């Protein structure tokens, strides 16, 4: 069978090979992109596990109380009316447990559904819907940023407008919102309750967040000049931490000798309002650690990676081309603390002409990802009526399809 030859002399086999190259490159990029979705899957899964553990503790607690109640009724010398009343109270408690289990089961089903939705979303990523999938991913990143910055209402509206409620962590951050709001209002009870709910996880990570909350509660008693209560509080809640945090404990307990109006710098700082801001920051860090979130918002991470890849010394020169994003003052400020791209010392040599690619002979990128010098591409286009054939893959495109790359 005779092979068909294309007008430019390349065989049909070469053209097919080139056509396959572009999707394969995009698939590779997509696969690399999916490796960054660790947080996307872990957060709902950790929330699901937490709910299961909470429901299990509730069942254990209630069943222990019920069994104990039945034992007391059997062993006790109760009259008929007393026994009936006691059993009725146990039945009422069982009915209450049933309602709790039904609510817990409903919550577990919703969270399992969300885990399933996240998996299906990742599995749906392919070349056919790459643009739409990437747009959804961008919305997820923006919602994550808004939730971390406490813009809850805006985050909810964006999630609803994009129909991505099952793909974002609004329910998870709702618990954090209650704690953050309380700490900002100088209330410690919700934060201490959160520590109690996550006691095993915090202990495993050797967190001292609960200790810091207890210290603040002690300081508030000292501020109110309620020294007797402060001493009793220290004996009950601070003394158990002495084995691991003795120096901090001694320093704070010594605050009993001072008032909130003290001018002693070492103790004055303990009574400042900034201590509450510090507790908010500490809570957010512990919250992210427990759920496996990145310490910084994903938006920051992606922006820093992109800006660092673009940043070169040439970007900060007056003759920097306006087509370079870092020619804009706002982008320069964002990129200022970031390292320069490691490519700024590289030398690019054209595969075709073997000549150096620089600002006089800048590199051009073909749609299939291969790069050649402007001189080489223009020569190929001039010989083929504006058509360019990649010498390594046989891929064919128009000269208007190539994109200029910037180097220093």
Please tell me the predicted confidence (pLDDT) of residue 93.
84
Residue ranges of alpha helices (H) inside 162-264 are: 170-184, 189-197, 199-204, 209-223, 227-233, 242-253
Give the residue-averaged pLDDT of 178-202. 92
| pLDDT above 50: residue 40 | yes
Q: Tell me how far apart the alpha carbons of residues 292 and 297 are, in angstroms, rounded to a whole number.
A: 12
Q: What is the DSSP letter of 5?
A: B
Spatial neighbors of 214 by CB under 8 A, at least 6 apart, are 237, 238, 241
Spatial neighbors of 184 by CB under 8 A, at least 6 apart, are 276, 280
Please tell me the predicted confidence (pLDDT) of residue 328.
86
Which range, of 69-73, 90-94, 250-254, averages the lowest pLDDT? 69-73
Q: Which residues pair with 373 in a beta bridge?
A: 363
Please tell me the predicted confidence (pLDDT) of residue 6.
39
131-162 pLDDT tens trace: 888 899 899 999 999 999 889 999 999 999 99
Q: In terms of Cα–Cα distance, which of 257, 168, 179, 243 is closest to 211?
A: 243
| pLDDT above 50: residue 54 | yes
Pairing mode, if any, of strands 403-404 and 387-389? unpaired
Domains of the chain, residue spans: 36-123, 174-295, 299-342
| pLDDT above 80: residue 9 | no
Q: Tell me how far apart the alpha carbons of residues 125 and 35 are, in angstroms, rounded to a whole number.
A: 13
Q: In terms of Cα–Cα distance, which of 173, 49, 152, 193 is closest to 107?
A: 49
Instruction: Write out the two tokens for 2.
Output: 């005779």
CB 280 within 8 A of CB 183: yes
348-401 pLDDT tens trace: 889 898 888 888 889 999 988 899 999 999 999 999 988 999 998 888 999 988
């Amino acid at each position: 069978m005779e092979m068909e030859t294309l007008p430019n002399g390349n065989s049909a086999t070469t053209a097919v090979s080139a056509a396959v190259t572009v999707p394969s490159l995009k698939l590779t990029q997509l696969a690399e992109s999916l490796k960054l979705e660790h947080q996307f899957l872990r957060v709902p899964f950790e929330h699901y596990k937490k709910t299961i553990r909470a429901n299990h503790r509730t069942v254990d607690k209630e069943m222990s109380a019920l069994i104990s109640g039945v034992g007391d009724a059997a062993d006790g010398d109760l009259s008929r009316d007393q026994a009936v009343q006691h059993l009725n109270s146990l039945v009422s408690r069982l009915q209450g447990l049933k309602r709790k289990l039904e609510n817990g089961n409903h919550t577990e089903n919703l969270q399992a559904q969300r885990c399933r939705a996240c998996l299906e979303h990742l599995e749906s990523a392919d070349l056919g819907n790459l643009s739409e999938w990437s747009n959804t991913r961008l919305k997820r990143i923006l919602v994550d940023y808004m939730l971390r910055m406490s813009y809850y209402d805006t985050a909810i509206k964006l999630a609803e407008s994009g129909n991505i409620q099952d793909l974002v962590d609004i329910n998870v951050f709702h618990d954090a919102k209650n704690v953050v709001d309380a700490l900002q209002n100088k209330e410690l009870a919700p934060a201490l309750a959160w520590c109690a709910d996550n006691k095993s996880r915090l202990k495993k990570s050797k967190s001292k967040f609960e200790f810091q909350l207890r210290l603040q509660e002690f300081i508030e008693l000292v501020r109110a000049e309620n020294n007797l209560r402060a001493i009793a509080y220290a004996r009950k809640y601070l003394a158990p931490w002495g084995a691991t945090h003795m120096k901090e404990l001694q320093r704070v307990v010594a605050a009993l000798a001072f008032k909130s109006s003290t001018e002693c710098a070492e103790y004055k700082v303990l009574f400042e309002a900034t201590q509450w801001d510090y507790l908010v920051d500490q809570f957010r860090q512990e919250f992210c650690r427990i759920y496996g979130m990145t310490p910084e918002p994903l938006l920051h991470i992606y922006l820093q990676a992109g800006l660092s890849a673009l940043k070169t010394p040439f970007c900060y020169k007056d003759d920097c081309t306006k087509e370079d994003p870092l020619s804009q003052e706002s982008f320069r400020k964002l990129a200022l603390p970031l390292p320069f791209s490691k490519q700024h010392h590289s030398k690019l040599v054209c595969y075709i002409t073997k000549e150096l690619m620089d600002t006089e002979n800048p590199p051009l990128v073909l749609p299939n990802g291969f790069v050649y010098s402007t001189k080489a591409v223009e020569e190929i286009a001039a010989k083929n009526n504006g058509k360019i054939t990649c010498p390594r893959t046989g891929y064919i495109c128009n000269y208007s399809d190539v994109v200029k790359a910037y180097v220093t």
